[in-house]
Amino acid sequence: MNFDAIIQAIEDYGIIIIHRHVRPDPDAYGSQAGLGQLIKQTYPNKQVYLAGEEDPSLTFLARMDTIDDNVYQGALVIVCDTANTERIDDTRYDKGDKLIKIDHHPNVDPYGDIVLVDTEASSTSEIIYDLYVHAKAAGYQMNNEAARLIYGGIVGDTGRFLFPSTTKKTFQYAAELVTYSFDRTQLYDGMYQMDENIARLQGYILQNYTLTPSGMCSIKITSQLLSEYRIKPEETSQIVGTLGDISGIKAWVIFIEEANDIRVRLRSKGPVVNTVAAKFGGGGHPMAAGATVANWEETERVVRDLERVCKNYQG
């Protein structure tokens, strides 16, 4: 893997701008800001910027920088946790001198001059820790803040170490990261404490989902429902996993109506669902994927497709 090329590129550039994907999650923030902290700690004289729109629910992890266009001139740009260029936040990622992609999603769009993709990694944050392990010989230094961010990213993308993507290496890295000084309880509160209106929507989902004999489960969250519960579409991340522990459910889809289209959020306990997402112009991991569709008629096609995948699944 391209660890040495990345370590060399970081050494070569004085200005480093780190991007991640739109609609960020803790792994997007953790890998982006964790890498930023690692570089700052190791090279105090380099200028490091974090790019992308801030998500109010994630500011407890890190704050983004305001970056002038001219900063990109001659800069190294690193994009974390983003499979394809359309999902990079923001669009100036190609305005630098050199571009690096670091990711753990299937490498559908191998953009960049250097590509480091490891689909076996639980999270992009785990790859950042891998990078640190490789770069120790070059003098890289971890600090408490980098450890907090990387650990938070790993916890987020492994569903608190529950998902099958969690490996021995994930636990080893987590064990090393918790030796640094950061408040884990505070970190978990930031990630998992739920507003009451989200909890009530979770209740609605549990009362109203539909489940077919083949184990396909679906639920539609209309914009009217969201406004009844006083929830913004982007606040629904916490409810996507809600259905995962119900026996009989093999794969599920949650449709969330947004201003101009409908977001499709697919999750699975076995059947591969990113193939379903890809049919509708989306993508993601085999067990967690997503897409965007134009109307409710199209959601019925997604349901039919997911039903077929569940029926064919031998697990």
Q: Give residues in contact with ligand AMP (CB under 6 A).
A: 83, 105, 240, 265, 282-285, 288-292
The alpha carbon dihedral of 153, 158, 162, 167 has a sign of negative
Nearer CB in complex with ligand AMP: 42/274: 274
Tell the smallest beta-carbon distance from residue 296 to ligand AMP (Å).
18
Instruction: Check: CB of residue 181 under 8 Å from CB of residue 276.
Output: no
Q: How far apart are CA 84 and CA 236, in angstroms?
A: 23
* Residue 105 vs 250, nearer CB to ligand AMP: 105
In the complex, least distance from residue 97 CB atom to ligand AMP, rounded to whole angstroms:
27
The pair of three-digit structure tokens given for residue 216, joined into one six-digit string: 């396909």
The CB-of-226 to ligand AMP minimum distance in angstroms stands at 16
DSSP lists the bridge partners of residue 124 as none
Nearer to ligand AMP, 78 or 288 (CB): 288
Instruction: Please list the alpha-helical segments (H only) found in the chain.
Output: 3-12, 26-42, 124-135, 144-157, 168-177, 184-192, 196-208, 223-228, 274-279, 296-312
CB-nearer residue toward ligand AMP: 71 or 243:
243
SS3 track for 78-92? EEECCCCHHHEECHH
Q: Is 23 left (phi over 0), alpha (psi -120 to 50) or beta?
A: left
Q: Which is nearer to ligand AMP, 73 or 119 (CB)?
A: 119
Minimum distance from residue 10 beta carbon to ligand AMP (Å): 25
Least separation in angstroms between residue 165's CB and ligand AMP is: 11
Locate tokens 């076995």: which residue? 270
- Whether the CB-CB separation of 51 and 80 falls below 8 Å is answered with no
Among 210, 207, 230, 228, CA closest to 218: 210
Q: How many residues does the chain have?
A: 315
Tell the residue number behind the tokens 């006083």, with chain if given: 230
Query: Among residues 37 and 165, whose Cβ is nearest to ligand AMP?
Result: 165
SS3 (DSSP) at 220: strand
Residue with tokens 């190294």: 76
Q: Least distance in Å: CB of 279 to ligand AMP? A: 12
Least distance from ligand AMP to the Cβ atom of residue 3, Å: 23
Query: 16 vs 18, which CB is nearer to ligand AMP?
Result: 18
